[in-house]
Each structure stands twice: as structure tokens, then as C-alpha cells.
Amino acid sequence: MTAVVLHLSDIHIRSDKDWILDKADNIAACTYASLAEASVVFIIVSGDIAFSGKAHQYAEAAKLFQGIRSAIEAEKQLPIHFIFCAGNHDCDFSLGNKTRTLALNGVRADPSQFDESILETGASLQSEYRRFEEAHLTPGETRVGDILWTCHRFTIEGKEIVIDSINVAWCSNLHESPGTLIFPHERYAQRINEVTDIRLSTLHHPLNWFSQASYRPFRELIRSVANVVISGHEHVGGVGEDFHSESGHSAYMEGCVLQSDAPEKDSSFNIAILNLDEGTYRSTRFQWSPENAYNATDVGSWSDFRNLPKKERNPFRITDTFAQVISDPGGVFQSKGSPLTLADLYVPPDMQEADGRTEQRRILSTSVLEDADRLEGGVLLTGEEKVGATSLLFILFQTFHSRGLIPIYVRGADLKGASDKDMDAAVRKAVTEQYGAGCLERFEQTQKIKKILLLDDFDDGPIKASAQRARLLTLANSRFSRFVVTANEVFDLDGSVRPHAEDALSELKEYKILSMGYSLRARLVKRWFQRTAADGTMDEEAMLCKCDQAERLLDAILARNIVPSLPLYLLTLLQSIDAGSSSGFEESGLGEYYDFLVKEGLRTAGIQKQHWSSMIEYCSHLAWLLHATEHKEITLDELRAFNERFSKEQHRVDYETRLRDLLQARILAQHGQYVRFRYHYIYYFLKGRFLASQLTDLATQAYIRECCAHLYVRENANTILFLAHHAFKDPMFLDCVVAAITEPFRSKKPIQFIGSDTAPVAEFIRDLPKLAYNGEDPEKMRDNANRTKDAIANGHDGLADKKREEGELDFLAELIALFKTVEILGQIVKNQIASVPREKRVDLLKLLMQGPLRALSAYFDMFMADREVAEREIAAMLEKRSTISDPNERQRVAKRLLAHFLQLVSYGFVAKAVSSISSDALQEDIDAAARSLGSPASRLIALGVRLDSPGKLPRTELSKTVRDTQGDFMAARVLQFLTLRRLYMFRTTAQDQQWLASQNVLDIKAQQAVSFRTRHTKHLK
């Protein structure tokens, strides 16, 4: 038994000539696949039916809706109900007058002035809308309310469904601005006490359009009463869920635009299916396609059924003070001056089973802990500091509370001893702080099964002895059958604690919270921009572009695990990246972001700003001292001796105070009698800063040259990478880097892709099938790509621990050294455009193009020399695995696998050159460098940069490059790879895809097959 919700929005009907008016059958057809199990269809329209609130516009709308109804009824006879709410375009502003303007301005300034006369004046522009709405109501339906909030009640198969029509456009202006709407929320406060099975609340403007006086209380009221909040106005559709400590769990469905100024491009709507028996739902977006039909899209859809948020009223009301605590995201994060909460930004991290008895340890999302049954017997979560354990507990608290359970949050520091009395005192204190003293007795009389203990930083409390810790966990288990405990990653459950508990903790499960990989980082980036661009100023294409830029910058800043991929650091960086667009921060280079992170640590530790420079200088000298040690750490005595030397040579520093401040600022970490820099990036950044201050010193110059000569060594590569942030203007340093990029594969001539220089390898791959584009949605492909990167990531950067013995480097070491130099020099050119003259930039770009092309030439030579040996080894592997019995077939498959590898590696070398210089700001210089080099290979790299970003397809350059590569099969195949990556990573119009096929960039047959498969797949959804 299901209910089908056809959600339309923003139709903007002007006249009988409107594009949308003959699309009733197309819209209705999208419901057909869902009608077999349906008991009812609700057609919900979240505003802007008309363009300017005129009677003739509603007359045309009535025909459209009657057409939709008739088409659905022809498919299946079942009840169909219309529910409308007014939008700002449903106001006839030609009827407005000065009295209305003054009245609304007055109530915006002072909401207490609101009364019935103000309401009548504000809503007076909606008279035609109200006539239209009244004509489409279901005869005999139960309705209660007024012109601001009407509740439509329906009983479907024994389930009561309420759909609210909320008129938030009553106070709209002709030119609407975010933050100006007002709503008398207190007038409808009693709605929170109404009981129903499912409630959908429909309004036109999303909540961010309301004034500060209305925003928070109205948001809390709407989310408290509604299982699903349906809105429109912003033309950027989507579906998601929100958790809030006060309003609980709710879902939202944001309307698309059904008719815009370019309806063929963006006409779309949602269909939600509510499974009334199972309490689940799903939502699918349908978008107009070049095939003259609405097709299902993955964007803005949830194809799998999810649990419908439940609105259970919890008698334990969270105190205002603790509600603020569990809404804290861990830092001061803002969007256009408004603070963001934890629920706004939260992305659940992953966790890995920590059972030492099994080899395969599963990785799960921590979101599975929202199933309270999984907490039976207890769950222990360990992880490094700032990994997000506390935020996870806060989210679990909100989730469980919204479901009618009674979670209790206790800090390890609140457990003063290991007795029953100590445990009970900590719990009572938590109940009082979180629910109020009046709830203590009721809490003690509540069943154990309804209580959940969330014990945070268990090992950070005063109890250190393993036996006493075991006693505390046993007490927790006896009082709460379901509980979660967090502790530092060094906490030893099996070795130290569990043996003291006999069998009392046998069911306690242990997991390690993991830092965020590529996939979760991408989700966090998207969530950030969804929240910071919630005013509707960014469409999906712009959102994808913004997320792509931020992900790339984060990847560069994180620099292969040098910066920890922890939520707080990522959010701090995202805020600085977002602020950069207005402050010029993004033009300063990556060094400014590392500097920002270091200073953020000083700020959060309460260090006064006037002391930051002296502390950073102190740490720079300390970094150089640690450089000489094997493990990059020193004893406390050695630190004291360093402090004395620094005090004599630089300025006086109190040792105890400085150590305390640096530990508190999380710049240093102490382990027993040893100290080190807490994170690699701090050490390398400060070491680079020290070296930059010593560039005139001959010994320093010799050290830098030595590093550049051996960039395959980790210490050298990271030192030069971070030194570049400080010394990019220094001629000696730049000369060293240039020497490092010209030295690898010096004897090889760069590949030009002129046919003759790739003929042997091109022949080897000629029989491979043509590349095919499968029409996958870019967002889905990006997610798949991130998951793949997470799957193959092993935490190793490919660099060597130490320098090899003197002599010629092998191919891999030489390649690593070259690619690391390309990465460093590319960052210098991209991030210091204003500091490097144009002529010099072009020369450096030429080096960045030629380096990977020289390496590709060396790889081709090596491949052709070793390919027969490689074929035999692959064939032997296939034989060993008993995969293929026929020896001739094994040889053929081996050759084919090797050919696939060859073309992928060839593309990879070119892609490395592209990624190292990819920047819209550099495109003119890149073109100049390609012209100067004059080879098809250089022009292919320049085109690759254009394809490496969203926007218009560079048809002119593509046409030239197609002609350029006609005589070189390998170059043509690399061009296909570059083009396919563009199609998979960014949105490309159907017209551009068809043009690519016409130019033989992609096989036209593959294109037709793609269109058929995509259309077939979409209709099956």
C-alpha cells in the first residue's frame, strides 16, 4: 500500500502559449510505474503556479492540472487530491499599494504588531490564487485552518495523512530578498501537539528566506510537526534529511522548476513514493530530455527506500544550554554571517572493526550506530584526537532523542571514581544538565531498554588503572544495556581492560574511527556548499564546479597524508577556501593555508596574537633541530637545552610556559619523555620556513641542491614541496627545481605524437576496442572514482625512506623524482601567477609539458624492449590460476591485457602534465607554451587543460586537435581518454555530446547505444 506524491513547483504560467501547457500527458506518464501498488495520488504544488497572479493564468493552469488528472485516471482509477500553496508569483503586485508596504515594513521591524488586519492587508494580493485553490479542493475533504496555514486531512487504508498548505508568500515583495519573510509561528504552536500517522508540510520559500525573528522558531515548529517538508522557489531541487536536538528527525524535498525561461533545459519535478505499511519513502527527480520526455535522473533522487522520519514526542525535553552544546560543530563556522550547526555540516565517518582475531576487518559507516539494537552489549570507538568521535555522539544523541529514547551524554572526566556511587553521581549530573532536575525521578523510573549511555573520552578521566576502568565499563553495562564509549586510539581494551572484567564485557564490540577518505571528503565538501549556498544562488552545474575546485585544492593541501584528513581540519580549510573568493586568500598559494592552520591552533589555544610570530619563529628553529634526528623527535631534556640556546641567540623564552602553550595549540605532541611536531605538515612547513630564512647560507644552498637531486626520497621531496611555499621568488631555489625537472630522462627526446615516434606502441594497441561513453551521471561517476581511490589507497606515497647508493637510478625512482618535481613546480606556477613574469611562466610551463613527455618516451622504449617478457609472465600467471586452458588463448589475452595497460599509462603521463598546470588563469600562457613547442603533444596537453574544467566544450580547439592527431593512433586514443574524463566528471549538454560524435572524437555508434541504454535504464527506475 503506497501513496504517490507528484510534487510540482514554480510553473510560472503567463499565457495560453506557454511551453508547459501541452506536457500534461508527459508528466502523468512518470507516475504510471508507481500506480500498481498505489492507493492514492497527491498532486502537491509548492507555489508559483501563475507568473503574476492573474485570473487568465490560473485558467490555463486549471487545464494543465485537469490534463494530468485525466491521464492518471485513464491509467488507474484511484483517488487524486490536489494541495496547493501560494508563492510570490501568485501575488498580483499590480494591486499593491503604499498601505501594504508600510504595514509589512512595520511588522518586519516589530513582529509584535502582527494582527488580523495586517494579515488581510498582506494577503490581499492573492485573491485570484485563493479562487483557483478553492476550485481544486477535493469535495468533502476534512480541512482546518486559515489563509496562512490549512491542514488537509485524509484517511488512506486506515492511515491518517495530513498535508499542510502554509502560505509564507502572504508578505512577499515584488523583488524578493532572503531574510525578509515573516511568519506568526506562535499562532500555530499548538500544531506540535497534533497526532497523525504521516504529515507533509508544504510551503513555497525554503526556511533561509525568513527573517531572523522568524527563522529559528518557525524552523523548529515546521520540522517538529512534519515528517517531510516540501518547498520550492529556488529552482534547485533535492532531497535530504535533517536532525536537530529540538525538532528531531525530518526529511525535506526541494522543488525543481517546472517552467523557467529555458524549460527544455531544466524543466523537472519530483515523485515521492510513501510506503504506508513499512513507513518508508523514496524520491525521484524527472527532467525533460532531448527525447521529448521526462526521464528519471540520479541527481536529486533517492532510488532506495528509506525509513520515513518519525515524529515521536519525547517527554524528556532537552535544556536550552545542552541543546547548544550538541549543536556545536567544533568551531566557528558561518555562512553569510549566520552560524552553522553540527547538523548543517555533519557527514558520518567510517569505522573499521578492531577485532584482532580476524584478518579481514570490515569497514562500516558509523551511521549504522543509529540503529540502537547495534549497541546491545556496548560499542567502543577509538580514534586519534579530533577524528570526530564527540560530534558522532552528539548526532547519536539527537537521533535517539528524536525517536523517543533517552540518551545520556557523560564525559570520562565526570567519573571521579570506579564505585557504584561515582557512576550514579555522573549519570544524575548528566540528567540534570541535559533534561533538568525535574526529570531525575522520571529517568530513574524509566525502563532500561529506553536509556542509552554515550560515554565520551573515557580514557581522559582521572581513572587510569585497567582494573578500575574495567569496573566502570561493567557498571555502565549493568545500568545501560545499550551504550557507546569513545577513547583515544592507544586505548587497549583486549590487552589491558577486558581481562579484568571476566565475562561482563564479552559482548562489547570495538571499532576504530577512520579519517576521511576521498569519498567522504567529497560528501563534506558538497554538504558545505549546499549549506553556504542555501539562498538558491548556485545551480547544480555551478555547485559541481565549486565542489570540484574545493576537492582539488583540499587534495593539494592535504598532500598525501601530510595534513590529517580530519573533519575539523577539513571544515577549517573549507571556510578559508570559501572566504578566499572575497578576501583574495586563494591567490596567496597553498603556503597561506598551512600558515592558517598553524595560527588557528594558536588562536584556539588562547595565545595572544602579538605572540604568534615569535612562537612560529621559535618552532622554525626547532624544526631544523628535529631535521637532524632519525625519528623527528627529541627528549624533554634536549628541548630544554634547545630552549636555552634559543634564549641566548634570539630572545628569552620561558621553557615551561612555551612547552605548555605549544602542546595546547596542538603544534607539539608529547609521548612520555619525548616531544615531536604533532603533524607532518607542521614540521615540514616550519622547516621550509627556516630554510627560506637561510637561503644566503652556502650550507643551506648545498642542502637544497642535494634535496632537489634526490626527490624520490620522502624527506627531500616534502622539504622542497614546503620550501616552495616560502622561497618561490628566490632565483637559486627556482634554478634548483628547474634542474630537477630537466635531469630525469635527460637523454630522451619528448614524445611529439607525430606518428613516427609512437608507431611501434600504437600498433600494439590498435586492435583494442574503441572507448565507449556509457552516459553515467557526473556526480555518480565522481563518487565511484572517489570510492576507487579509497579502495586502492594504502597510505603510502611511493617515496623512498633514504637515498640510494651512488649510481644510475632505476626507471621508477627517476619517474617518481620527475613527477614530484612536476608537482612542486606546477604549484609554484599556479599559485604565484602574479609573482612570476609572463615570459618566465611560459618557459616553466614548457618544462612542465616536456618532462612527462620525456618520461613517456622512456616508457615506450622500455615497454617495447620488455614486452615479450611481460607477455610470458602474464600468460604464466593465467596458467597458474587455471583461468584459461588453451595456451594460444592465454597468449592472446596476455597481449590484450598488456595493451590495455599501455594505453592507460600513456594517458596517465599526459594527464600528469595536464593536472600539474591546470588553471583557468594560466590558459593564455599554456597556449603560448604549446605554440612555442609546436608539437601535437603540447597542443594535446593544452586542450587537456581546457577539458579539465566545466563550462562550454572547447569545440574549436577540439576540432584542431582531432586533425592534429589523425596521423597518430596513440595520440587519438589519449584524446579520447581526456574527452571521456570530461564527460564523466562534468555536465555536458546533449548537443555537445552529439557534436563530439560527429567529429569522431567518440564513436557515433557508441553514442547511439549509450542513448538507448540510458533511456531504457531510466524508464526502469
| pLDDT tens, position by position, 952-968 | 899 999 999 999 898 99
Residue 713 lies in a domain: yes
- Whether the per-residue pLDDT at 357 is higher than 80: the answer is no
The rounded Cα 296 to chain-centroid distance in angstroms is: 23
Residue 558 lies in a domain: no
| pLDDT tens, position by position, 8-30 | 999 999 999 999 999 999 999 99
- Whether the per-residue pLDDT at 639 is higher than 50: the answer is yes
- Whether the per-residue pLDDT at 807 is higher than 80: the answer is no
- Reading the block at residue 837, the C-alpha cell is 613574469
Asked if 550 and 525 touch (Cβ cutoff 8 Å), the reply is yes
pLDDT-derived band at 1018, boundaries 50, 70, 90: very low
- Beginning with the edge strand found earlier in the chain, give each strand of the sheet holding 634-635 in spatial order: 634-635, 674-677, 668-671
Asked if 127 and 96 touch (Cβ cutoff 8 Å), the reply is no
Which CATH number belongs to the domain containing residue 118 in this structure?
A: 3.60.21.10
- Confidence (pLDDT) at 413: 92
Asked if 271 and 302 touch (Cβ cutoff 8 Å), the reply is no
Give yes or no: residues 899 and 863 share one domain. yes
Q: Which residues contact 539 (CB under 8 A, 6 or more apart)?
A: 235, 236
Mean pLDDT of the chain: 87
How many beta carbons lie within 10 A of that of residue 127, not counting itself? 14
- Among residues of the chain, what percentage have pLDDT more than 90? 50
| pLDDT tens, position by position, 770-783 | 887 877 778 888 88
- Confidence (pLDDT) at 794: 67
Residue 1019 lies in a domain: no
Asked if 575 and 529 touch (Cβ cutoff 8 Å), the reply is no
CA distance 947 to 293: 30
Residue 977 lies in a domain: yes
**What's the rounded mean pLDDT across residues 55-73?**
95
**What's the rounded mean pLDDT across residues 913-942?**
94
Give the burial class of 173: count Cβ atoms within 10 A of its Cβ; 0-12 exposed, 13-18 middle, 19 or more buried. Answer: middle
- Whether the per-residue pLDDT at 561 is higher than 70: the answer is no
Unique residue bearing C-alpha cell 576487518 = 361
CA distance 269 to 75: 20
Give yes or no: residues 244 and 293 share one domain. yes
DSSP string, 572-637: HHHHHHHHHHHHSGGGG-HHHHHHHHHHHHHHHTT--GGGHHHHHHHHHHHHHHHHTSSSS-EEHH
**SS3 of residue 450 by DSSP:** helix
- Whether the per-residue pLDDT at 1021 is higher than 50: the answer is no
- Whether the per-residue pLDDT at 337 is higher than 80: the answer is no
User: Higher model confidence: residue 42 or residue 208?
Assistant: 42
pLDDT-derived band at 245, boundaries 50, 70, 90: low
Which structural domain range is residue 362 located in? 320-514
**What's the rounded mean pLDDT across residues 246-271?**
85
Residue 121 lies in a domain: yes
Using DSSP bridges, classify how beta strands 379-383 and 350-353 pair: parallel, antiparallel or unpaired: unpaired
- Confidence (pLDDT) at 580: 57
DSSP string, 472-539: HHHHHHHH-SBEEEEEETT--IIIIIGGGGTTTTTT-EEEEEPPP-HHHHHHHHHHHHHHHTTTS---
Q: Which residues contact 236 (CB under 8 A, 6 or more apart)?
A: 254, 256, 536, 538, 539, 540, 543
How many beta carbons lie within 10 A of that of residue 735, not counting itself? 12
| pLDDT tens, position by position, 263-288 | 888 899 999 999 888 888 989 999 99
Which CATH number belongs to the domain containing residue 414 in this structure?
A: 3.40.50
Asked if 928 and 840 touch (Cβ cutoff 8 Å), the reply is no
CA distance 261 to 12: 9
pLDDT-derived band at 808, boundaries 50, 70, 90: low
Number of domains present in the structure of the chain: 4
Give yes or no: residues 275 and 334 share one domain. no
Using DSSP bridges, classify how beta strands 350-353 and 338-339 pair: parallel, antiparallel or unpaired: unpaired
DSSP string, 738-757: HHHHHSTTTTSPPP--SSTT
Give yes or no: residues 960 and 913 share one domain. yes
| pLDDT tens, position by position, 294-307 | 998 876 666 677 88
| pLDDT tens, position by position, 34-59 | 999 999 999 999 999 999 999 999 99
Rg (CA), the chain: 32
Give yes or no: residues 301 and 192 share one domain. yes
**What's the rounded mean pLDDT across residues 132-148?**
89
Q: Which residues contact 456 (CB under 8 A, 6 or more apart)?
A: 389, 390, 393, 409, 410, 411, 412, 486
User: For residue 26, is it left (φ>0), alpha (ψ between -120 and 50) or beta?
Assistant: alpha
Asked if 845 and 822 touch (Cβ cutoff 8 Å), the reply is no
**What's the rounded mean pLDDT across residues 710-718?**
89
- Confidence (pLDDT) at 467: 94
Asked if 909 and 823 touch (Cβ cutoff 8 Å), the reply is no
How many beta carbons lie within 10 A of that of residue 61, not counting itself? 22
Give yes or no: residues 229 and 329 share one domain. no
Q: What does each C-alpha distance from 426 to 415, 423, 432, 901 come to in angstroms?
A: 6, 5, 10, 61
| pLDDT tens, position by position, 141-199 | 888 889 999 999 999 888 889 999 999 998 888 887 777 888 888 888 888 777 788 99
User: Higher model confidence: residue 79 or residue 530?
Assistant: 79
CA distance 264 to 258: 10
CA distance 967 to 951: 29
Residue 238 lies in a domain: yes
**What's the rounded mean pLDDT across residues 666-684?**
91
Give yes or no: residues 275 and 348 share one domain. no
Tell me which of 713, 743, 773 is where a domain ends: 743
CA distance 795 to 787: 15
DSSP string, 62-92: HHHHHHHHHHHHHH----EEEEE---GGGS-
Residue 221 lies in a domain: yes
- Whether the per-residue pLDDT at 579 is higher than 70: the answer is no
- Whether the per-residue pLDDT at 607 is higher than 80: the answer is yes
**SS3 of residue 351 by DSSP:** strand
Asked if 243 and 398 touch (Cβ cutoff 8 Å), the reply is yes
Q: Which residues contact 890 (CB under 8 A, 6 or more apart)?
A: 875, 878, 879, 883, 884
- Whether the per-residue pLDDT at 123 is higher than 80: the answer is yes
Q: What does each C-alpha distance from 23 to 177, 259, 396, 674, 1018 come to in angstroms?
A: 32, 11, 45, 73, 19
Give yes or no: residues 362 and 289 share one domain. no
CA distance 753 to 757: 6
Tell me which of 514, 542, 568 is where a domain ends: 514
pLDDT-derived band at 585, boundaries 50, 70, 90: very low
Secondary structure of 580-594 as H, E, C letters? HHHHCHHHHCHHHHH
Secondary structure of 764-812 as H, E, C letters? HHCCCCCCCCCCCCHHHHHHHHHHHHHHHCCCCCCCECCCCCCCCCCHH
Unique residue bearing C-alpha cell 598532500 = 559
Residue 230 lies in a domain: yes
**What's the rounded mean pLDDT across residues 918-923?**
90
Give yes or no: residues 882 and 998 share one domain. yes
Give yes or no: residues 394 and 477 share one domain. yes
- Reading the block at residue 306, the C-alpha cell is 528509506
Asked if 406 and 452 touch (Cβ cutoff 8 Å), the reply is yes
Give yes or no: residues 302 and 329 share one domain. no
The DSSP output letter for 713 is B
The DSSP output letter for 341 is P
Q: What does each C-alpha distance from 85 to 31, 138, 197, 801 come to in angstroms?
A: 22, 15, 22, 66
Unique residue bearing C-alpha cell 614540521 = 683
- Confidence (pLDDT) at 875: 87
Give yes or no: residues 249 and 335 share one domain. no
First to last CA, the chain: 19
Tell me which of 499, 514, 529 is where a domain ends: 514
pLDDT-derived band at 1014, boundaries 50, 70, 90: very low
For residue 364, give the amino acid letter: L
